[in-house]
Structure 1
Amino acid sequence: MARGKAPKILLYGMMALSARFSKNAAFHGTDPRLRGKTYAKACANLLDWNQVSLTTIQACVLLGAIAVTEGNSASENIYYAVACRIAQLLDLPNCKMESRVEQEINIRTWWSLCMIDVWSSTGVRLPRLLPPKENVSLPIDEVVFLGMSRDRGFDETIQTSRNSSLLAEMVRLNYILQQINDFNIRVAESKLDSVAIQGDLEDLSSQLDRWLDELPDHIRDTRENLERFSALGLGRVFVAIYLGYYHFGQMLFYRFLHEDSQSTSLRTRHYANKCKEHAGRLCDIVYASETVPNCDAKYNMVGHVLVIASTVQIHSLLFESNDTNVALAKERLEKNFCILTQLCAVWPTLDVCMDRLMAFHKACRESADTSFCMDQWMVRFLVEFASPVTDKTSHASDGSQWSLAELGITSD
């Protein structure tokens, strides 16, 4: 492989994921969701399972992401599992390299796998493959990293601040997500009593608050910062951080939506409002990303988190008494529906997300009082993002098409 050039297997994998967005005339008349199939097949054909290398890890990550687009969770997890095992065999973050940039690539790849592992294993309810390692450095600042070259050895002084790294903040957040997923599963399986639930909830809530409080000013969720990272070519990474933070918050406090509609407890109201705040801010960062160049979030996971945020808006429509809040929820639902429709045009797996939203809405029509209850169906709805869900009630699906009009929402 020539230095600085990606192997064909990686190029095919990247083309398989990105061709859907191409405006090249060669794709005219071809369904965006089908454009990557030829490249995906070429990538898979070039994969050598016996090659224990960084390239194989990267190829497996790409092929896993391709499998996600098709809703093939089994293949997704197999590819990711192979990537994780090869990284362990190589001791990827600690193996000796010839240059500082190669070492940093290994570190960033390792942490990316750790984050993928939490998402993918939770989605199929399997044990995680990569246990935390305390001897692995967090990724360095992206601007510094992008300015490095392979010609630089270890002797040259390089500013390696980890207090301004976007990827490092994702890593810290991902550790909290792992705990939130475990918490929701244990609560749904009735493995925690009320005292334990309260203790764990307060601890996780504090962890989210502490993460936000400790952020340096230049990484905080402001329009100015979004525009600054956009100018650096890092706008989409910045948006991804807050999509994660707001989604993890709505996941943690979601259970209180049901309790809020059933009681007058101030504690319950406080946590239910926190869920609504996280869901609302998630919507807002998506809307903001579409107004700043090179910040738009078009990857398929956006569809899943927007579906969850949309169900929170449905809760406000059903139970909110404040007219201003009801109007805001209606406006967000309209915008989310448009965004989800656009995303569905390029990502096949988001058909499942729309079906899941339809199943949730059907549950609300049949029993609004119980549709937000944090039972095992709801946990599956929240975390198994690529898997279809059955109706929450025993009634068979009528096969009707879901639309905003069913909630009395029109675009007039």
Structure 2
Amino acid sequence: MAIIAFALHAIGRLDCVGVTDDPAPNTLEKHYESLGNQVDDGRPRRVSSLVVPDAALAEDLASLYFRYMHITFHNIFHRATFIAQVKDSSIPKILFFGVAGLSARYSTHPVFASITPWDRGRPYRDESCMLLAANASVEGDSRAESVYQAIASRMAMLLDLPNLPTESVLEQEINRRVWWSLITTETWSSATQSLPRYIKPRNNVPLPIDERRFASLTYNMPEIQYDSSPGSSPICNFDPHSLVAQMIRLNLLLYDIIVFLNSRVVDTQDEHSVNRSFDHELRHSLDEWADNLPPRLRYSEENVIYWADEGFGAIFITLHINYNHAGQLLFYQNLQSAQEQDAGDDSRQGFAQRCKQHATNLCDLIYEAKWRPDTVVLYPLAGHILCLASTVQIHTLLFGIDDDEIMAAKTRLERNFEMISSMNNYWPMNHMSISRLQHFHNACLRSKDDSFRLDAWMLQFLLGFTQDIKDRDAIWTYGHRALGEFDPLRDLLDI
């Protein structure tokens, strides 16, 4: 999901690259019309009442954004500052409308009573060009998202955003969060287009600080100077209790998993080969990430309650959704090999079981999160993630031999469909998830023995979450593909 809101900062700052004496907090005011701008006659020129009829709605839309979207799409704002600027109408319109375009579908305000959730964000989206990538993504326009992502990434590199001089630790931290958000959201957007990332992670850029500390920052706190001596690595010396930092580290691993899956498909078509030890390294890295989590960040009911009480329950849930999604992706390739009679490799059976366990954990924690209003999962990618977890349940229905496991898989499949359908009320892209499940089901009906084989069709199914997909036999037949179809996959490997 693209996080192009940051480009708002960038466009204004590109005018003054190399100039460091301007007060940082005032740059937005110099370049962007605020929500309550004044015209020459002194009268406030506010947003049309047809769009934002009252201040309470504006605050509600901002709060809904932080509840449902900021935790998953990107992490580029300081909540207290953003809400305060909405309240005093000093927030730049372009930022507000970008945020409102995403959050309006969750609102229960009477002004939206006659408007379907899908349509609510479109008037706001038209006012914003910086969060357009996120809006484009959730509506299934992955190409537009990719273009805006590229623009934002170029701006960040031109500004050298993580090293941009600032006057406060708050702005310094926001710049770094924007930088890392560009990298992490590009993991998802590059996967769906099979394109290499624009920004490569730097070991000298510090990871985000603990969310509790970040929430308490103000513009009055001077920036922090980090040790830049040889051998020091801010990305390694991070705060392990930072939920966002842990999410970024997991995302970097997810990108490697995506590259690995692409390499497996390319390997079946030509002599291009990726070291097979990469598979082992990824399994080790995933286990190491989980094993090194501090006790307070490990998944448990006690920790869900703790982080919810701290105001970060949704981020905590998302962290563990992402972990289990990374696990089900990494081990998904073993579902096919484990069912083949000539596999003869007990390790494959074990890896297939790990895929099923990750999918089960993922489903169960989303079910549990539903019972708390501050942790319920409704963000767009959750539908795609549940779609993949549902196919793992289908594998159990097709090849399982334990009656209890089969019954549990059937129950999860039914609940997942209900949850994806409910998410479809908010996000058009989840309609694609339902369609993709149908196409997967059709593939299983035609040939269940090959239905989990990792080929180009399966790769698009696993990663191309914003793209429509056709029936497998309509365009893909295993082992009979023109090599030209794999050029995009090679693009991803060319990094």
TM-score normalised to the size of structure 2?
Answer: 0.73
User: Which residue matches 1:399?
Assistant: none
Shift of 1:299: 0.8
2: distance between equivalents of 1:199 and 1:161? 28
User: Which residue matches 1:203?
Assistant: 281
Q: Is the 8 A contact 2:104 2:121 kept in 1?
A: yes
Shift of 1:292: 2.3
Q: Is the 8 A contact 1:108 1:139 kept in 2?
A: yes
Q: What are the equivalent positions in structure 2 for 1:254-273 lying under 5 Å apart?
A: 254-263=332-341, 264-273=344-353
Q: Does 1:309 align with 2:389?
A: yes
Q: Is the 8 A contact 1:138 1:168 kept in 2?
A: yes
Report the secondary structure of 2:161's partner residue: coil
2: distance between equivalents of 1:196 and 1:117? 22
Report the secondary structure of 1:43's partner residue: coil
Question: Which structure has the bigger radius of gyration?
Answer: 2
User: Which residue matches 1:407?
Assistant: none
Q: What are the equivalent positions in structure 2 for 1:222-371 lying under 5 Å apart?
A: 222-263=300-341, 264-371=344-451
Q: Deviations over 1:320-373 (max 9, x none)?
A: 001111111011111101100100111111111111111000000111000100
Q: Does 1:113 align with 2:191?
A: no
Shift of 1:197: 6.3
Q: Deviations over 1:218-244 (max 9, x none)?
A: 000111111111112111111111111
2: distance between equivalents of 1:329 and 1:357? 15
User: Which residue matches 1:387?
Assistant: 467
Cα distance change, pair 40–195 in 1 and its aligned pair in 2 (3 A): closer
1: distance between equivalents of 2:325 and 2:408? 19
Amino acid of the residue matched to residue 14 of structure 1?
V
Q: Is the 8 A contact 1:363 1:391 kept in 2?
A: yes
User: Which residue matches 1:72?
Assistant: 141
1: distance between equivalents of 2:417 and 2:224? 53
User: Which residue matches 1:18?
Assistant: 103
Report the secondary structure of 1:42's partner residue: coil
2: distance between equivalents of 1:320 and 1:155? 56
1: distance between equivalents of 2:97 and 2:355? 40
Cα distance change, pair 74–193 in 1 and its aligned pair in 2 (3 A): closer
Range that drifts further, 233-242 or 183-192: 183-192
Shift of 1:174: 1.0
2: distance between equivalents of 1:338 and 1:166? 29
**Aligned mate of 1:136, from 201, 205, 208:** 205
User: Which residue matches 2:263?
Assistant: 186
User: Which residue matches 1:50?
Assistant: none
The root-mean-square deviation of aligned C-alpha atoms, in Å, is: 2.2
Amino acid of the residue matched to residue 178 of structure 1?
Y
Q: Is the 8 A contact 2:254 2:326 kept in 1?
A: yes
Range that drifts further, 130-139 or 306-315: 130-139
**Aligned mate of 1:93, from 149, 162, 170:** 162
2: distance between equivalents of 1:68 and 1:219? 30
Higher relative contact order (CA 8 A, sep 6+): 2
Q: What number of residue pairs does the alignment pair up?
A: 378
Q: Deviations over 1:276-308 (max 9, x none)?
A: 011111111111111123111111100000000
Q: Is the 8 A contact 1:65 1:76 kept in 2?
A: yes
2: distance between equivalents of 1:197 and 1:204? 12
Q: Is the 8 A contact 1:230 1:293 kept in 2?
A: no
User: Which residue matches 2:485?
Assistant: none
Amino acid of the residue matched to residue 351 of structure 1?
H
Report the secondary structure of 1:133's partner residue: coil
Q: Is the 8 A contact 2:140 2:466 kept in 1?
A: yes
User: Which residue matches 2:116?
Assistant: 31
Q: Gaps (5+ residues) in structure 1?
A: 45-58, 397-412
2: distance between equivalents of 1:80 and 1:296? 28
- Determine what percentage of the aligned residue pairs are the same residue: 38
2: distance between equivalents of 1:235 and 1:268? 35
2: distance between equivalents of 1:154 and 1:68? 34
1: distance between equivalents of 2:167 and 2:118? 40
1: distance between equivalents of 2:143 and 2:223? 41
Q: Is the 8 A contact 1:141 1:161 kept in 2?
A: no
Range that drifts further, 222-231 or 268-277: 222-231
Amino acid of the residue matched to residue 342 of structure 1?
S
Cα distance change, pair 195–275 in 1 and its aligned pair in 2 (3 A): farther
1: distance between equivalents of 2:224 and 2:305? 35
Cα distance change, pair 79–328 in 1 and its aligned pair in 2 (3 A): same
2: distance between equivalents of 1:154 and 1:318? 58
Q: Does 1:170 align with 2:244?
A: no
The ranges of structure 1 where at least 4 consecutive aligned residues each deviate by more than 3 angstroms after the TM superposition are 191-198
